Amino acid sequence: MTGLKDRIKARIAAQGPLTVAEYMATCLGDPDEGYYTTRDPFGEKGDFITAPEVSQMFGELVGAACLSAWEALGRPERFELVELGPGRGTLMADLLRVAALRPAFVDAARLNLVETSPHLRQVQTETLQASPLKPHFCERFADVPDGPMILVANEFFDALPIHQFMRTPEGWRERCIGLSAEGHLTFGAGTARLPEAAIPASIASAPAGAICETQPAANAIAEDIGRRIADHGGAALIIDYGYLKTAPGDTLQALYRHAFDPVLAHPGDADLTAHVNFEALAAAAVSAGATALPPLTQGDFLLRSGLLERAGALGAGKSHGEQEAIRDAVERLAAPDRMGDLFKVLALTSSGLAFPPFDSAR
């Protein structure tokens, strides 16, 4: 049993059940024993491998999209380049290597990394040592300076706390974590209700026992991004696994040493995520004045951005083994049954901005 599990139990015993959001926030962000606070969870030795860690091509193509956004914005002389949750800093290092081909982009950019984990901040600083920009660290997105902005976020929003509600005969009641008679962590229905007015039509007819999720923390950040973009001009690329239309379902999942794990089994030692509701994310940004372009799957985004051409160039003159590894990375990133379909890419822009490879807003 982890120390954190004991502390969570003691807290429940003293103060009552935790919401799923409180549980997630504690497991991931506890200052002493939170998952992200205490470790580097990425790569073969960690619990999961993210797209930038699969291949440099991912960050390079995201970098090319950022360059085209900067062109479309009229090459602002000063802008905030922002990454939310940069992990090891790999995506940003690959992005900046491409961006460095356009020195005016680099000269205009101020690099802001939004990262809560002191350990990962250090890893990011090391990864970016040879990059042309030195990072300014922000605790929260709200701390990023105002101004024209180009923002990227890969697998950031899935780590933000969600709430879950269960359909019961008395309406949608918040799903909570309490203690069983034997003293184990267990799910149950709490007393809080989802207000009828907040229930989208697409879940209103869900049967008893159904679960629906809300993501107020993610939506609040999307709204803030939307406001900045609407006020000062800019573009954001949000990449994550998730769904395009609001629907009932329990997407809370724990990953422990590359395998799914019961959500309540290893608090603080397992990664805990939820699928992102892209419809809600886009609506939050649009409510603040930004434009949300029709989202693409990660596979479509990468292929439209020139993944195959980049793979060909990268493999030219390399050994058979290296070419094989590049082909494998292409599969992994873009094939529909790998990351290609589950991951989505949402582009937010200021009004009227053309942002290839996305189609313009309908």
Site string for ligand SAH, 237-276 (x = CB under 6 A): ----------------------------------------
| Shortest CB 28 distance to ligand SAH, Å | 6
Q: Is 172 in the site for ligand SAH (CB under 6 A)?
A: no
Please give the torsion angle defined by the CA atoms of residues 273, 277, 278 and 282, in that order, rounded to the nearest 10 degrees: -120
The interface region with ligand SAH, picked from 86-94, 165-173, 322-330, 339-347 by CB under 6 A, is: 86-94
d(Cα 294, Cα 282) in Å, to the nearest integer?
10
Residue 159 CA: distances (Å) to CA of 18, 35, 221: 17, 11, 13
User: What are residue 51's phi and psi, to 5 degrees?
Assistant: -55, -45
Closest to ligand SAH by CB, 54 or 353: 54
> Site residues for ligand SAH, window 106-165 (CB under 6 A)?
114-117, 120, 154-156, 159-160
Closest to ligand SAH by CB, 52 or 242: 52
Token readout for 15 is 């103060």
Closest to ligand SAH by CB, 19 or 116: 116
Residue of 17, 59, 63, 85 interacting with ligand SAH (CB under 6 A): 85
Q: Please give the sequence-ordered ranges of beta strands (E in DSSP) within 155-304, or none if there are none.
A: 163-168, 171-179, 185-193, 211-214, 234-243, 253-256, 259-261, 271-273, 276-277, 291-292, 296-297
Per-residue three-class SS string for 150-162: EEEEECCHHHCCC
- Number of residues interacting with ligand SAH: please give it, by CB under 6 A: 20
Residue of 23, 36, 79, 105 interacting with ligand SAH (CB under 6 A): 36
Residue nearest to ligand SAH according to CB distances in the complex: 85
Closest to ligand SAH by CB, 91 or 176: 91
Q: How many CA atoms lie within 13 A of 87 on its CB side?
A: 24
The three-class DSSP label of residue 252 is coil
Identify whether the C-beta of residue 268 lies closer than 8 Å to the C-beta of residue 274.
no
Give the closest residue to 274 by CA, choosing from 25, 4, 1, 2: 25
Phi-psi region of 354 (alpha: psi -120 to 50; beta: other; left: phi over 0): beta
Site string for ligand SAH, 39-78 (x = CB under 6 A): ---x-------x-xx-------------------------
The interface region with ligand SAH, picked from 81-89, 192-200, 207-215, 301-309 by CB under 6 A, is: 81-89
Closest to ligand SAH by CB, 79 or 156: 156
Residues binding ligand SAH (CB under 6 A): 28, 36, 42, 50, 52-53, 85-87, 91, 114-117, 120, 154-156, 159-160
